[in-house]
Amino acid sequence: MPEYLVQHYLDNSRKIFPEKDAVTTPSKKSSYEQLYTLSNKLGNCLIANHVARQDRVCFCLTRSSKCITAIFGILKADAIYVPIDFKSPSERNIQIIKDCKPSCLICDGETLPKIVEAISHVHNPPKVIVLADGRDVQKSLIDSFICQEEIDQYPDIQPEYNNLDKDIAYILYTSGSTGSPKGVMISHLNIMNYINWAVECFEITQEDSILNTAPFHFDMSTFDIFCSLKTGATLCIAPQNYLLFPNKLLTYIEKERVTIWKGISSLLMYLVLTGSLQNDRIPMLKKILFGGEVLHTKYLVEWMNIFPEKLFYNVYGPTEATGISTYYPVEKIPSSHESVPIGKPCTNTEVLLLKNDKSIAQLGEVGELCIRGSSLSRGYWNDQAKTDRSYVPNPVSKIPSDTIYRTGDLALLRADGNYEFIGRKDDQVKWMGHRIQLGEIETALLSVKEVKNAAVILSESEDLKSRELVAFLEVEDGGDASMIMTELELKVPRYMVPTRNVLTQCIPRTSRGKIDRQKLINYV
């Protein structure tokens, strides 16, 4: 069968590997045949309940194989899947549901109360499907719902697909600068362009087991799900609590014989800080991709020293470009003060660095990183104004419809042809007449031995009369903030040394693992 929709990945792999494990968790294994059957039943159930082509269907589920069943069931109904994080505040979930106007909401027994709370604020609430035994559902919460027993009554034959590759496969909601979540529309074509490249680049086969630690509302999970299902590999879903207990996570990797892991940088850093890494552990893990934010070099050095036989890749890409846009194979251990580049563009992807005057930055010059190619999304759901601000005409093209995405990230092109990430445009501040990249100060702080983690903000009083650089520091036991600042003065100009520092046990992070600067600003 030709592959032009991402559900074809499952359909084709099921024909070749029907009894092979498609998805595993610590408590359950699902074969390709089982996943195919369950997703067909769910797809037929959705169609019978008037879900039409390109309708949105939200799912809010605890981490389990049910998430994968929901994704493919929705896709098989020609609909668009929209993941909702059940840990998010109700107000955010209400905003998402109001914005995308789903025809159906899929949940389980544990997440049902959250869904009921959200739809109570919505006019004409969508139909609710609970992936649980009807006897286990708190019927006092909701008058009408479809339970698992009813889904099981639908035929397990593959529905007829009517979508085209340019149709939307999913919408992921990311945090907007205004506080309102914005929904990134990703098409089947976007995903397949990305996954076809990734499978070839990282030589993924049916022999692989791919670890999933990323939430399914986070674009890093796109790699995990679709690389696995395309190749007949096994997707290994790590429970959320395993991410807090390194020994459980490492034991799970060993038990499932995981070979590939695309993990967020903060989790790799955490495993170093907890002293969990030992060279006799996770022997089957061959390839480690890290991204989502900068992995400070000293933590990468630690990983590479402990596991010299493993392959490491620094990967970069915004949600708006589906997954990975540039990648860098780390072929030798860098020095602890060396910046690891984000590498070169993936196949069928082009990167431009634009200066403020829209001219192309020259070698070594800093510019805004812009992306074009078939992995580039169509923009933001239901928000043309935001789309027009970020998806703009290519200033160096003669074709009017040629569009690039402005990432808001700053980078430079090195002499070796690799791009180096500098920081966010919105993390650049003007202080004492100097333009300062906050990430540069953080990198310098991380090179100090006693510093485990660092974040820097520019704090301003409401009347803007008082401004100061503030450093938040996680330090080793006995670490002295004043001594750290003294050492920092040897690494950066005096004007870049924070005038105030705050020792903290844990720098706050967003649900995507990135430093939550807004919380830090509110703190001071």
List of domains in the chain: 28-163 (3.40.50.980), 209-340 (3.40.50.980), 349-422 (2.30.38.10), 432-523 (3.30.300.30)
pLDDT, mean of residues 273-299:
94
pTM: 0.88
pLDDT score at 431 = 74
Q: Which residues are 509's β-sheet partners?
A: 515
CA angle 215–219–222, rounded 5-degree value: 90
- DSSP conformation letters of 121-134: TSSSPPEEEE-S-G
Among 17-26, 302-311, 475-484, the minimum mean pLDDT is found in 475-484
pLDDT, tens only, 185-244: 999 999 999 999 999 999 999 999 999 999 999 999 999 999 999 999 999 999 999 999
Q: What is the pLDDT of residues 340-397, one digit of tens each?
A: 999 999 999 999 999 988 899 999 999 999 999 999 999 999 999 999 999 999 998 8
Most confidently predicted of 122-131, 262-271, 279-288: 279-288
User: Is there a contact between 391 and 404 (Cβ–Cβ < 8 Å)?
Assistant: yes
Give the whole-angstrom CA distance, residue 23 versus residue 233.
9
Classify strands 104-107 and 80-83 as parallel, antiparallel or unpaired: unpaired
Report the range of poorest mean pLDDT among 115-124, 244-253, 297-306, 430-439.
430-439
Region of poorest pLDDT, from 19-28, 369-378, 415-424, 501-510: 501-510
Q: Any residues with CB less than 8 A from the CB of 352 and at least 6 apart, and which?
A: 360, 367, 369, 370, 371, 372, 394, 396, 404
390 — phi, psi (to 5°)?
Answer: -105, -30
Question: Are 234 and 228 a contacting pair, CB within 8 Å?
Answer: yes
Residues facing residue 375 across a β-bridge:
none
**Residues 300-330: tens digit of each pLDDT:** 999 999 999 999 999 999 999 999 999 999 9
- Lowest-confidence range among 161-165, 329-333, 431-435, 468-472? 431-435
User: Is 396 within 8 Å of 382 (Cβ atoms)?
Assistant: no
Q: What is the pLDDT of residue 278?
A: 96
What is the per-residue pLDDT for 348?
Answer: 96
Average pLDDT for 57-86? 97
Please choose, from the candidates 266, 407, 295, 286, the residue with its C-alpha nearest in 3D space to the C-alpha of residue 345: 407
φ/ψ of residue 16, rounded to 5: -90, -40
Residue whose C-alpha is closest to residue 96's, from 39, 186, 171, 151: 171
- State percent of the chain over pLDDT 90: 72
The pLDDT of residue 418 is: 97
CA distance 169 to 55: 10
Band (481; pLDDT cuts 50, 70, 90):
confident
Residue pointed to by tokens 């920081």 = 423
Decide: 257 and 234 in contact? Cβ < 8 Å: no
Is the pLDDT at 513 greater than 80, yes or no?
A: no
- Region 261-271 average pLDDT: 93
The identity of residue 387, as a single letter, is T
pLDDT score for 462? 55
Which pLDDT score, from 0 to 100, does residue 172 have?
Answer: 96
pLDDT at 438: 86
Residue 464: predicted pLDDT? 45
Q: Are strands 127-130 and 168-174 parallel, antiparallel or unpaired?
A: unpaired
- Summary mean pLDDT of the chain: 92
**Does the CA dihedral 292-297-302-305 come out positive or negative?**
positive
Output the pLDDT for position 62: 95
Judged on CB neighbours under 10 Å (0-12, 13-18, 19+), 108 is buried
Whole-number pLDDT of residue 435: 67
Is a pLDDT exceeding 70 seen at residue 177? no
The pLDDT value given to residue 276: 95
271 pLDDT higher than 90 = yes
**Tokens of residue 480, six digits:** 């002295």
The band of 449, judged by pLDDT with boundaries at 50, 70 and 90, is: confident
The amino acid that residue 275 corresponds to is: G
Measure the CA–CA gap between 235 and 17, rounded to whole angstroms.
Answer: 14
